Amino acid sequence: MKVQIHVSLKPGVLDPQGRAIHHALEGLGFTGVNDVRAGRLIELDVDDDVSDAKLDEMCRQLLANMVIENYRIEKVGEKEPA
Amino acid sequence: MAFRSAVITFPGSNCDRDMAVAIEQVSGTAPLRIWHGDAELPERLDFIALPGGFSYGDYLRSGAMAARSPIMQAIVAAAGRGVPVLGVCNGFQVLTESGLLPGALMRNAGQNFICRTVPLRVENNQSLFTKGYDAGQIIDIPVAHHDGNFFADEQTLDRLEGEGRVAFRYDQPCNGSRRDIAGILNQAGNVLGMMPHPERAIDPSHGGSDGRALFESVVRAALVAA
């Protein structure tokens, strides 16, 4: 099973990287961009019997830093046959 | 009795030698060198130091992988028993990632790596690490980091301030840290994390020796405890 973990900074936490990307977009002449937040995508390939609770634990213990980050777990499909 | 200390080396640590030299110069005894994969610490330690660097290439987040390495469980247990633990720079990041200290260290607000000597204000001179300083004293200590921007929510910051756990504050804004916090203590006062490098400021011929009193304080505390 393929699982995508989307890790993003919590609202209210200043995102210097997102701000720099925002400035760079403006520098390229793009207008209408109101805000940019940069995050991280982690893709896991896990056995089908790995529970949602275990995935949650993985996020809380390692993949996200709960002080500053939120995470969202998305299952994107079954494991492809070999 | 000889001062028994340990410097932990992770893959990618690069200030471990500086830390060992500082400890030996001040205490007169070379620290034990411990590898991250070790599961146990030597017994009867007076002091544990987590050095700066880029442990595990800063993969995932600075300090995140090191905080989950085998030796960290032993360090968390030792900290719980009251052994003094100092984390400098990457070591501070490891301490927050491991939960020994609150908050997190984010990318510097200006996005740049900052490498220069900065003035720090000693906010708490009652801790075992800072007794050698005067309250409010300004000391010059080098910083060299990309992820030193201390973040914690307002409630946590208020608690840190209220409990006297802000050990050092940047005397001028440095990296965007909330309330200019440069170093914090745990509740028991035996764990200190700080971004600036006191181990790089122990010899006047290297530009300053304001970091020396921190190590002297730790050595003196061990003598008193013995």
This model of the complex carries an ipTM of 0.82
Report pLDDT for B111.
87
Contact (CB<8Å) A65/B102: no
| Helix or strand holding residue B32 (H, E) | strand B32-35
CB distance from A7 to chain B under 8 Å? Answer: no
pLDDT in tens, A21-44: 999 999 999 999 999 999 999 999
Calculate the alpha carbon distances from B22 to B30, B51, B202, B203 in Å. Answer: 9, 11, 7, 9
- Report d(CA B50, CA B165) in Å as an integer: 19
Active site residue B89: yes
pLDDT band at A16 (very low <50, low <70, confident <90, very high): confident
Report pLDDT for B226.
75
Phi, psi for A61 (deg, rounded to 5): -85, -25
Contact (CB<8Å) A16/B106: yes
Report pLDDT for A12.
85
Q: Is the predicted pLDDT of residue A80 greater than 70, yes or no?
A: no
Q: What's chain B's average pLDDT?
A: 96
pLDDT in tens, B42-67: 999 999 999 999 999 999 999 999 99
pLDDT band at B18 (very low <50, low <70, confident <90, very high): very high
Q: Is the predicted pLDDT of residue A81 greater than 70, yes or no?
A: no
Q: Is the predicted pLDDT of residue B131 greater than 70, yes or no?
A: yes
The answer to whether residues B189 and B179 touch, using CB atoms and an 8 Å cutoff, is no
Strand B47-50 with B104-106, pairing: unpaired
Minimal-distance CA residue of chain A relative to B101: A67
Calculate the alpha carbon distances from B46 to B91, B163, B211 in Å. Answer: 18, 25, 19
Active site residue B161: no
Q: Please compute the mean of the pLDDT values over residues B15-33 and round it to a whole number.
A: 97
pLDDT in tens, B141-173: 999 999 999 999 999 999 999 999 999 999 999
Report pLDDT for B48.
98
Count the neighbouring beta carbons within 10 Å of the beta carbon of residue B160.
23
Which residues of A are less than 8 Å from B106 in CB distance?
A: 13-14, 16, 68
Strand B32-35 with B5-9, pairing: parallel
CA B153 to chain centre: 21
Q: Please compute the mean of the pLDDT values over residues B98-123 and round it to a whole number.
A: 96
**For the CA atoms of B73, B161, A11, B53, what is the dihedral angle to 10 degrees?**
-40
Report pLDDT for A17.
87
Question: Which domains, from first to last, does chain A contain?
Answer: 2-77 (3.30.1280.10)
Rg of chain B, C-alpha, whole Å: 16
Q: Is the predicted pLDDT of residue B37 greater than 80, yes or no?
A: yes
Select from A17, A20, A62 the Cβ nearest to the Cβ of B64. Answer: A62
The answer to whether domain B5-225 has CATH 3.40.1390.10 is no
Contact (CB<8Å) A63/B96: no
Angle at which helices B212-225 and B16-27 cross, to 10°: 60
Q: In what order do the strands lie in the sheet with B32-35?
A: B32-35, B5-9, B47-50, B85-88, B191-194, B181-185, B166-170, B114-122, B138-145
Q: Which residue reads 């937040």 in tokens?
A: A37
Q: Is the predicted pLDDT of residue A79 greater than 80, yes or no?
A: no
Report pLDDT for A77.
76
Q: Which of B15, B36, B97, B199 is catalytic?
A: B199
Contact (CB<8Å) B102/A16: no
Q: Is the predicted pLDDT of residue A78 greater than 70, yes or no?
A: no
Q: Is the predicted pLDDT of residue A82 greater than 70, yes or no?
A: no
Report pLDDT for A62.
96
Count the neighbouring beta carbons within 10 Å of the beta carbon of residue A6.
15
Active site residue B174: no
Which phi-psi region, left, alpha or beta, contains residue A59 (left: φ > 0; alpha: ψ -120 to 50)?
Answer: alpha
What is the count of residue pairs from A and B with beta carbons less than 8 Å apart? 35
Q: Please compute the mean of the pLDDT values over residues A47-72 and round it to a whole number.
A: 96
The share of chain B scoring above pLDDT 90, in percent, equals 94
